[in-house]
C-alpha cells in the first residue's frame, strides 16, 4: 500500500492557495482570516474522508478513525509565519490525512485507532505551541490573558471573535495514557538532507535553548578627551563576547551547536560618548542536554572573563531555558524499518527548530520524519520540497503509522 501522491499534491496546492501572498508565499497567522479559512477547509476534507471531525477547547482540529484504546496520532500545524512557505506544518497535516485516508480505504484492521491533529498557533503569532501546550496540560491559564500578537491583539479577543473562549483552552488536556504515539512529518528547514543526498531524516531529538540576556557596564566618557587606554568601553566587552563565543561553540560544541547574538543595544548611544552599557542576547541551541549544559557553563565563565579583561562589570539573566527533547526510540526504529522496506536512504539528525513533537514528546512517545528542504530554505516563499520527496516522506509515514498502530 502507498499514499495517493497526486491527491496529496492537490491537497497541498489547495491549502497553499489559502493565505497566498503576492510573493508566492503563505501568510496564515493563527486565528486570522486565512487561518480560519484553512481550518474550515481541513474540517471539510476530514469529513469528506469519512473521519470523525472534532475541534477541542484550544482550537486543535482532529480527524479520528475508529474508537477505543490508546491512539496513534499524526499531524502538525496549519498556521504559518508571515509570508512563509506552503510546506511548513501543512505537509505534516496533509500527509497525515492522506495516510489515515489510505489505511481506511484499504480497510486495514489495526489494534489502535488513528487520529489526525492540526495544533493551534505552533508558529507563535500569539507565543507559540498554544494548541500542543493545552493538549499536554502545560498551558498555564494565568498566562492566557497576556498572549498578544505583534499588533497588540490579545489571544482572548482573537478567539472571542471566532466564538471561542481562550480561557477554556486548558480543557483541551488529553490524558497521556490515551496516547500510544505521535508522529510528525515535517520539512527539515535546513540543508543537511539535501547536502547528503538523503531523502529521509530520522529525527533524534529536538534542540533545547539557553538564552541569556547579558549586560556589560563600563563608564560613559568624552569620546575626544578620554585616551584609548583609559576607557571602560562596554561595547568592547560585547563585541569580544560575540567573537569568543563563536570560537567557544566551534571548539567545544558539536555540529548541531548554535550560538546567536541577535540583539545588541548600546547606551547612551551617541557618536561622541564612550559606550557605558551594552545589552545583548546570547542564545545557545543544542540537541544534547549534557552538551547544552556544558556550553552554557563555559559561556558563563567566558562572559565573566571578558568583562574583567575590559574592566567592566556584567550581569547575566536567563531569559529562556528549554531542555532538548529526545524522541522515542521505538518510533525511530519504526521509521528506520519503514525507510529500509521502501528502499530509501535515511540518516539521523536533530531538529534545530521548535515543533509540536517536542511538546507532545515530554508526556508521550513522539517521533519526527524529515524530508529535504531545497537550499535549506524555510519561513520564506522560497520554501520548497519536491513532489518525489513529499511522496517518499508520506510513504514512510504511512508504514510507520501502520507499525505503531498494529503493535
Q: Using CB under 5 A, list all residues that contact Zn ion.
A: 88-89
Nearer to Zn ion, 80 or 299 (CB): 80
Nearer to Zn ion, 188 or 283 (CB): 188
CA distances from 186 to 76, 356, 385 (A): 8, 11, 10
Rounded to a whole number of angstroms, the minimum distance from the CB of residue 79 to Zn ion is 9
Measured from each CB, the residue nearest to Zn ion is 89
- From first CA to last CA, the distance across the chain in angstroms is 18
Nearer to Zn ion, 18 or 306 (CB): 18
Rounded to a whole number of angstroms, the minimum distance from the CB of residue 314 to Zn ion is 36
On the 0-12 / 13-18 / 19+ scale of CB atoms within 10 A, 60 is buried
Rounded to a whole number of angstroms, the minimum distance from the CB of residue 28 to Zn ion is 12
Nearer to Zn ion, 88 or 121 (CB): 88
Residues forming a β-bridge with 265? 279
Rounded to a whole number of angstroms, the minimum distance from the CB of residue 245 to Zn ion is 28
* Cβ atoms 12, 390 nearer than 8 A: yes
Quote the radius of gyration of the chain (alpha carbons, Å): 23
Rounded to a whole number of angstroms, the minimum distance from the CB of residue 110 to Zn ion is 27
Rounded to a whole number of angstroms, the minimum distance from the CB of residue 379 to Zn ion is 9
Rounded to a whole number of angstroms, the minimum distance from the CB of residue 355 to Zn ion is 6
Nearer to Zn ion, 90 or 364 (CB): 90
Nearer to Zn ion, 118 or 338 (CB): 118
Rounded to a whole number of angstroms, the minimum distance from the CB of residue 364 to Zn ion is 19
Nearer to Zn ion, 189 or 402 (CB): 189
CB-based contacts of 12: which residues, under 8 Å, 6+ apart? 86, 87, 90, 91, 94, 390
Nearer to Zn ion, 89 or 113 (CB): 89
Amino acid at each position: 500500500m502507498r499514499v495517493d501522491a497526486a491527491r496529496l499534491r492537490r491537497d497541498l496546492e489547495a491549502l497553499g492557495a489559502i493565505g497566498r501572498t503576492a510573493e508566492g508565499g503563505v501568510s496564515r497567522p493563527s486565528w486570522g482570516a486565512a487561518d480560519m479559512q484553512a481550518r474550515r477547509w481541513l474540517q471539510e476534507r476530514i469529513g469528506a474522508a469519512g473521519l470523525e471531525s472534532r475541534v477541542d477547547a484550544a482550537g486543535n482540529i482532529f480527524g479520528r478513525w475508529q474508537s477505543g484504546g490508546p491512539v496513534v496520532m499524526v499531524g502538525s500545524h496549519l498556521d504559518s509565519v508571515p509570508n512563509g512557505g506552503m510546506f511548513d506544518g501543512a505537509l505534516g497535516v496533509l500527509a497525515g490525512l492522506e495516510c489515515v485516508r489510505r489505511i481506511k480505504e484499504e480497510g486495514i484492521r489495526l489494534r489502535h485507532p488513528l487520529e489526525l491533529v492540526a495544533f493551534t498557533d505552533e508558529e507563535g503569532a500569539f507565543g507559540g505551541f498554544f494548541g500542543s501546550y493545552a493538549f499536554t496540560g502545560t498551558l498555564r491559564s494565568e498566562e492566557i490573558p497576556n498572549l498578544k500578537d505583534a499588533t497588540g491583539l490579545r489571544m482572548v479577543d482573537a478567539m472571542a471573535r471566532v466564538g471561542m473562549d481562550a480561557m477554556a483552552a486548558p480543557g483541551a488536556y488529553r490524558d497521556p495514557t490515551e496516547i500510544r504515539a505521535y508522529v510528525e512529518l515535517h520539512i527539515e528547514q535546513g540543508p543537511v538532507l539535501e547536502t547528503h543526498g538523503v531523502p529521509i531524516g530520522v529525527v533524534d531529538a529536538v534542540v533545547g535553548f539557553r538564552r541569556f540576556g547579558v549586560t556589560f557596564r563600563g563608564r560613559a566618557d568624552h569620546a575626544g578627551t578620554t585616551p584609548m587606554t583609559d576607557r571602560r568601553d562596554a561595547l568592547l566587552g560585547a563585541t569580544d563576547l560575540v567573537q569568543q563565543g563563536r570560537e567557544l561553540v566551534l571548539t567545544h560544541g558539536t555540529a548541531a551547536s548554535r550560538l546567536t547574538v541577535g540583539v545588541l543595544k548600546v547606551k547612551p548611544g551617541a557618536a561622541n560618548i564612550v559606550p557605558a552599557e551594552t545589552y545583548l542576547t546570547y542564545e545557545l541551541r543544542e540537541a544534547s542536554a549534557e552538551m547544552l549544559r556544558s556550553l552554557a557553563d563555559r559561556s558563563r565563565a567566558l562572559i565573566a572573563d571578558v568583562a574583567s579583561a575590559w574592566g567592566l562589570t556584567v550581569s547575566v539573566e536567563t531569559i529562556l531555558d528549554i531542555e532538548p527533547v529526545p524522541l522515542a526510540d521505538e518510533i525511530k526504529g519504526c521509521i528506520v524499518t519503514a525507510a529500509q522496506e521502501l528502499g530509501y536512504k535515511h540518516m539521523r539528525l536533530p531538529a534545530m527548530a521548535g515543533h509540536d513533537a517536542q511538546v507532545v514528546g515530554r508526556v508521550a512517545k513522539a517521533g519526527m520524519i524529515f524530508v529535504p528542504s531545497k537550499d535549506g530554505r524555510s519561513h520564506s516563499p522560497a520554501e520548497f520540497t519536491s513532489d518525489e520527496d513529499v511522496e517518499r516522506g508520506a510513504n514512510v509515514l504511512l508504514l510507520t503509522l501502520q507499525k505503531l498502530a498494529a503493535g
